[in-house]
Amino acid sequence: MGMMLILLLTIPAAASALIGFSRKRETIEWIHAIASVLSFIAAAVIAVTIWMGQEVIQWQLLRADALSVFFAAIITFVGAVTGVYAVGYMRLDESDPARIRIFFALFQLFVFTMLLAVTTDNLGLMWVAIEGTTLATVFLVTFHDSETALQAAYKYLMISSVGIAMAFMGTVLMYYAAAARVGEIGLSWTSLIGVAAQLDPSVVKLAFVFILIGYGTKAGLAPMHTWLPDTYSEAPAPVSALMSGALSTVGMYALIRFKSVIDITLGTAYTSTWLMRFGLLSLGIAAAFLVSQRNYKRMLAYSSVEHTGIVALGLGFGGYWGTVGALLHILNHSLSKSMLFILSGSIRLKYRTTEIRGVRGLLGTSPWTGAAFLCGVVALLGLPPFGLFISEFMVFRAGFEAGAPGYAVAGIAFLALAFAGMLAGINAMLYGKPAGDLDRSDPLMWHIAPVALNVVLLAGLGLTFPNGVRAFFDQVLLIVGVSH
């Protein structure tokens, strides 16, 4: 199975190279679409293999366990759905073959760097891969060449670079904490967790602060989130979908990996306190901006900050329900947010604006797009029968059980405020009479069809928690040191 792990990384890397040398638009689109789907199939095969009982798949510096394949499956699923949509979107949005080639080559490179980050055992290589995601996406953000897009890309590059530099300092300090106590040791996660009980607590405490701020910047935790609304709103819709649905999860993956080591050294109280503080701050800031948001892509972006805060709270509350709730929320958020950003692209193509006041009567002018957008919003707001309702319930239940009712109550209050703000904006978009004479049609109807899978999975995770899924999460919990 080591070859399957190599194949998982080879597919997007090879696709990026092939696209770079291709000249025909149809060839580029076929390579991109096939690679996007094959990457998901490869990740699914690895996930099933581990679910069936093979605890680890390893080859050299590459290593996949249940936690790795959980995130790899999210990345490749979002990549497949977004990749199919991107073909149709770019046909309507761009005609220059050279720019098309650059877009799809960077898209596949972006997927490759994210997959490398979650399937390497080496924490230094993980840092390099996460830095690589920034370099791949910054040019995608500027794809439309507008002044606001260039400003957003510059802001994204600067803030992400500072964040990743802090993550590097945290990684170096973790290495120093290990080397000072047990001698020369590799930067592998398995090596660190094996000696975690012997690490210098004072150095580890400092390291976690750097790691939380560094990788928290990539995940979109407040107050390091300021790049996110500008970047998500200015990037092409497929890029926004992939960044919100997959990139933010990579930052959380890195935090979870380090947290599992640091908790052995310090106990859970230290990391939990910081995660709860940053999680609640993220919820509060997001709620404040969602109340009066006028741009629907920025609204979805601030919603990402909100849901990243919920994940951080779940990890901070800890225990079985807090950790499972956080992981399940990562999955649910990725499904709903990638879907909504995909649909936002079709809405922009239809109405030629990203302003909420410029979109009226969506259910009438684009029935299928409007219906799918309504389902995605209902899911994102945490309403039944969709999965975010269950994962949010798990997280806040864990808060009360963990003896942190203040954080839980404040989090629920911010959640209600964000709910009201988003509902007002979405209601205005879905109903009413559109300005101008718009035909009744759905842009890119067949290219948005794969989002039906998102809806089915969100409903399935909201209505049931199958034994197979529970067993897989139990495998993940063992890796991060949480027992039932």
Whether residue 407 is contained in a domain is answered as yes
Whether residue 205 is contained in a domain is answered as no
Rounded Cα distance, 177 and 205, in Å? 10
Question: How many structural domains compose the chain?
Answer: 1
Per-residue b/e over 183-199, b at no fewer than 16 CB within 10 Å? eeeebbbebbbebbeeb
Whether residue 482 is contained in a domain is answered as yes
Q: Where residue 295 falls among pLDDT bands split at 50, 70, 90?
A: very high
Of 40-44, 55-59, 223-227, 287-291, the one with minimum mean pLDDT is 55-59
Whether residue 164 is contained in a domain is answered as no
Rounded Cα distance, 69 and 43, in Å? 7
Q: What angle do CA 171, 175, 179 make, to 5 degrees?
A: 170
Range of 417's domain? Answer: 268-484
* pLDDT attached to residue 1: 63
Q: Where residue 61 falls among pLDDT bands split at 50, 70, 90?
A: confident
Omega of the bond leading into 223 within 30 degrees of 0 (cis): yes
Q: Where residue 72 falls among pLDDT bands split at 50, 70, 90?
A: very high
Are 163 and 213 within 8 A, CB to CB? yes
Average pLDDT of the segment spanning 248-273: 93
Is 178 a residue whose pLDDT tops 90? Answer: no
Please tell me what DSSP assigns to residue 243.
I
Rounded Cα distance, 188 and 217, in Å? 23
Whether residue 167 is contained in a domain is answered as no
Q: What angle separates helix 467-479 from helix 66-93, to the nearest 10 degrees?
A: 110
Per-chain mean pLDDT for the chain: 91
Q: Which two tokens stand for residue 293?
A: 């948001």
Are 466 and 393 within 8 A, CB to CB? no
Average pLDDT of the segment spanning 315-336: 95
* pLDDT attached to residue 186: 67
Average pLDDT of the segment spanning 1-18: 91
Q: What number of other Cβ atoms are within 10 A of residue 176's Cβ?
A: 16
Average pLDDT of the segment spanning 322-350: 94
Q: Nearest Cα to 9, choosing from 137, 123, 120, 130? A: 120
Task: For 388-443, write each residue's pLDDT tens digit.
Answer: 999 999 999 999 999 999 999 999 999 999 999 898 888 889 887 777 777 788 77
Is 276 a residue whose pLDDT tops 70? Answer: yes
* pLDDT attached to residue 101: 93
For the chain, the straight-line distance linking the first and the last C-alpha, in angstroms and rounded, comes to 30
* pLDDT attached to residue 484: 66
* pLDDT attached to residue 459: 95
* pLDDT attached to residue 431: 87
Whether residue 141 is contained in a domain is answered as no
Q: Dmax of the chain from CA atoms? A: 73
- Which element (helix H / strand E) includes 26? helix 25-51
**Runs of H (alpha helix) within 243-366:** 248-266, 268-290, 296-317, 319-351, 362-365
**pTM score of the predicted model:** 0.95
Whether residue 380 is contained in a domain is answered as yes
Whether residue 339 is contained in a domain is answered as yes
Task: For 209-244, write each residue's pLDDT tens digit.
Answer: 999 999 999 999 999 999 999 999 999 999 999 999
